Amino acid sequence: MADPTTPPNPDLLALRTRIDAVDRELLDLINRRARLAQDVGELKKKEGSVAFRPEREAQVIDGLKAANPGPLKSDSVAPIWREIMSACRALEAPTRVAYLGPAGTFSELAALGFFGSSIERVSCASIDEVFRATSAGAADFGVVPVENSTEGVVARSLDLFLTTPLHIVGETSLFVLHNLLRKDNSLDGIEAVCAHPQALAQCHGWLSNHLPNVERRPVSSNAEGARLAAADPKLAAIASDRAGTEYGLHTLAPAIQDDPHNRTRFAIVAHPQRQPQPAASGNDCTSLVVSVTNRPGAVHDMLVPLKEHGVSMTRFESRPARSGQWEYYFYIDLQGHPEQPQFAAALTALRSVCAFFKVLGTYPVDVH
């Protein structure tokens, strides 16, 4: 390590002086951008339209990634401009975002990743409350987990898509790293490991190998588990780095999830009367729930219109309809936007062969 008493290298000082000058230029440019966003905000107020335009934000990021000459890494472009657009959007209108709290949950990280940090956070105690807060207008948007690459669907979110008026206006996904956290820096004497049931399931292998006789206690969120572990040294939690820092816990074992590529996908929901369906961005996804009558060939018939109109399906998930008749709801993601004539024709044809048909939303595909 360099001796801190050595005078700084003059070359380093010169480079830093140049970085300072560039930062001043950047600040001027970002403020110029912010003033333009304010003008856009005024225009939108006059025409009574909404501030948040997910399709425009996706296009801005896609365009900049394509134009990036480097050496800035392409992966760095999206997070930087998400923050810039978040700050600009905040000058147009506040963005209130509900998610499964408390502070430090992956849902909060997903909300910050998607909307940037210039938002008002509405922390909720359950997925149901996220839907309720967003339906009632206490939040403009809700962020809810929909599927995990290890554990599959988040059933509660899928069920609530069916029964609430909210629609999907965006998606985002996160790598989910689970750590074993505790107040004491030791694995000895742990009475229970507290975490959300999904996290307990995602760490099943590690827990069976290292803490085979310890109770696995399901709680409402991983951050709630971390909060409990901070209050009781006999408890451990499974949660994010962020939750560990938030609650002052030691990381006894990092990344204990069974799948090193564990990812969770989140949907961004909003009330259609307050946030309309995003316009086409050029790379869009449309999510549907449908059911067909229980007869031979019914699922095949459902897929025919998609093939005929050249529409790709990226997800096909079934959930029991709870009718007691072995009937199912199918959750389908299609590539495309109803503004595209071929896509609209496929939707019309699909609707005609379904007993139940609901468009959950159309939104730009997640850009990283």
Ligand X SMILES: O=C(O)C(=O)C[C@]1(C(=O)O)C=C[C@@H](O)C=C1
Tell me whether residue 29 or residue 355 sits nearer to ligand X (CB atom): 29
Task: Based on the shown chain and the rule CB under 6 A, indicate whether residue 52 belongs to the binding site for ligand X.
Answer: yes
Q: Are 262 and 176 in contact (CB under 8 A)?
A: yes
Is 266 annotated in the active site?
A: yes
Write out the two tokens for 79: 């997070």
Least Å distance, CB 169 to ligand X, is 11
Least Å distance, CB 55 to ligand X, is 9
Please count the residues of this chain forming the interface with ligand X, following the rule CB under 6 A. 12
Q: How far is it between the farthest Cα atoms of the chain?
A: 82
User: In this structure, what DSSP letter does residue 278 have?
Assistant: P
- Residue from 28, 63, 68, 88 touching ligand X (CB under 6 A): that is 88
Least Å distance, CB 37 to ligand X, is 5
Q: Are 222 and 240 in contact (CB under 8 A)?
A: yes
Task: Based on the shown chain and the rule CB under 6 A, indicate whether residue 115 belongs to the binding site for ligand X.
Answer: no
Q: What single string gives the DSSP state of each residue in 32-87? A: HHHHHHHHHHHHHHHHT--S--HHHHHHHHHHHHHH--SSS-HHHHHHHHHHHHHH
Grouping H, G, I as helix, E, B as strand and the rest as coil, residue 89 is helix
Tell me whether residue 59 or residue 149 sits nearer to ligand X (CB atom): 59
CA angle at 215 for the pair 188 and 108, rounded to the nearest 5°: 95
User: What counts of helices (H) and strands (E) characterise the chain?
Assistant: 12, 15
Return phi, psi of residue 84, to 5°: -65, -45
Task: Based on the shown chain and the rule CB under 6 A, indicate whether residue 56 belongs to the binding site for ligand X.
Answer: yes
Mark 28-47 with x for binding to ligand X (rule: CB under 6 A) and - for no binding: ---------x--x-------
Name the residue with the smallest CB distance to ligand X.
Answer: 88
Tell me whether residue 61 or residue 302 sits nearer to ligand X (CB atom): 61
Q: Using the rule CB under 6 A, give the single segment among 81-89, 204-212, 266-274, 338-346 that binds ligand X.
A: 81-89
Q: Are 263 and 150 in contact (CB under 8 A)?
A: no
Return phi, psi of residue 108, to 5°: -65, -45
Task: Based on the shown chain and the rule CB under 6 A, indicate whether residue 92 belongs to the binding site for ligand X.
Answer: yes
Partners of 357 in beta bridges = 290
Tell me whether residue 82 or residue 265 sits nearer to ligand X (CB atom): 82
Task: Based on the shown chain and the rule CB under 6 A, indicate whether residue 333 belongs to the binding site for ligand X.
Answer: no
Catalytic residue among 264, 330, 343, 362: 264
Orientation angle between helical segments 127-136 and 155-163, nearest 10 degrees: 30
Task: Based on the shown chain and the rule CB under 6 A, indicate whether residue 344 belongs to the binding site for ligand X.
Answer: no
Q: Kindly list the residues in this chain that would bind ligand X in the complex (CB under 6 A).
A: 37, 40, 51-53, 56-57, 60, 85, 88-89, 92
Instruction: Give the residue numbers annotated as catalytic, written as ranges.
Output: 264, 266
